[in-house]
Amino acid sequence: METIVEAKRDINTVPVSQIASPDVSGPSFVEALVDPVNVFASPQQVVDHPWFSTEEKRTILLSWARDELVIEQVAGRIMPDLQVKSRIDAVIEALAMFDPSAAREYLNVVQIVRGNRNRKRARRALPH
């Protein structure tokens, strides 16, 4: 039995020099993944980013959500009265566009963390 292999012609008629490429001076995916808060001014900028894929945006927002959750947890344990403002709510809202299930899970955890912090505050306010 003979195997016949057909060569396919390149159907891309646009010259390579005219193909749009990401801004070389823009952030790389790795930079955005490792430190999203210093790469983007807001989670909405991740959503609106012109050349990250949907999966890359989802991954960046998951990373950012994890970082913001740590801020919420640490602030709640160490400085509960300080009421540190994290961006977790905005990150979860953006994440919901790409991964609603993960966004719901993060929202549930944030509510638990915030609930624990509020209970600790209330206990300290009670007379001893």
d(CA 69, CA 66): 5
Quote the pLDDT of residue 123: 53
Q: Which regions in the chain score pLDDT beneath 70? A: 1-25, 80, 117-128
> How much is the pLDDT for 78?
79
Contacts 24+ apart (CB under 8 A), 106-113: 106/65, 106/69, 109/69, 110/69, 110/72, 113/69, 113/72, 113/73, 113/76
pLDDT for the residue 124: 55
**What was the pLDDT predicted at 102?**
97
- pLDDT at position 97 is 97
pLDDT at 24 (0 to 100):
54
Are 64 and 46 spatial neighbours (Cβ–Cβ below 8 Å)? yes
